[in-house]
């Protein structure tokens, strides 16, 4: 892991689902929204939960790549947003959803596409926090968030087991 990540924050599927529902609850007073735009790939899961909870049937994606697992790289737009979603009003009434905002680089790129959209993330770090309208949990900048789709379960020997220690 990159040395800038001093802490880890593992998130289970149950916890992520609870946090995504909490995000929907916070967003319920911010709408109405006529569409959700998920930033792929991390925003797909929370966008599905939020869209379900808020009764939004139009779900679009924008493909932005910036991470290669543990290292952040250049921003690449892989897929743009449909002009039907952006509309003539620069994204007003559209909800953008991502799993987290870290440095804010991805958020800046998507914000430029739809400056009047409402931007929401489940998790936020201080550097990217100003670009987000709504979030659930803030973590320190030096924390790596292990999201459930990036982990697998494996056996861990008990602390007192001398044979495997």
Question: Per-residue pLDDT tens for 95-136?
Answer: 999 999 999 999 999 999 999 999 999 999 999 999 999 999
CA 19, 23, 27 angle in degrees (round to 5)?
A: 170
Quick one: pLDDT band at residue 161, thresholds 50, 70, 90? confident
99 is catalytic: yes
Tokens of 69: 């697992």
Give all strands of the β-sheet with 35-40 in edge-to-edge order: 71-79, 59-68, 35-40, 94-101, 118-124, 134-138
pTM: 0.87
Residue ranges and CATH numbers for the domains of the chain are 7-150 (3.40.50.2020)
Active site residue 142: no
Q: How far apart are CA 94 and CA 103, in angstroms?
A: 23
Q: How confident is the model at residue 54 (pLDDT cuts 50, 70, 90)?
A: very high
Query: What is the helix, strand, coil percentage profile of the chain, to 5?
Result: 25, 30, 40
3-state secondary structure labels for all residues of 21-44: HHHHHHHCCCCCCCEEEEEECCCH
19 is annotated as an active-site residue:
no
Q: Which of 2, 19, 84, 99 is catalytic?
A: 99
């Amino acid at each position: 892991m990159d040395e800038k990540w001093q802490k880890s924050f593992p998130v289970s599927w149950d916890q992520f689902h609870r946090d995504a529902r909490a995000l929907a609850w916070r967003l319920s007073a911010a709408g109405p929204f006529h569409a959700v735009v998920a930033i792929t790939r991390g925003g797909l899961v929370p966008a599905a939960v939020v869209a379900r909870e808020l009764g939004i049937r139009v779900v679009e994606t924008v493909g932005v790549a910036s991470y290669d697992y543990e290292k952040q790289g250049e921003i690449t737009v892989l897929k743009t947003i449909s002009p039907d979603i952006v509309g003539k009003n620069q994204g007003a009434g559209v909800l953008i959803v991502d799993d987290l905002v870290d440095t804010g680089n991805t958020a800046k790129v998507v914000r430029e596409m739809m400056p009047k959209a409402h931007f929401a993330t489940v998790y936020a770090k201080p550097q990217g926090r100003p670009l987000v309208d709504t979030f659930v949990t803030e973590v320190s900048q030096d924390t790596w968030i292990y999201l459930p789709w990036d982990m697998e379960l494996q056996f861990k020997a008990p602390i007192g087991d001398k044979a495997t220690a």
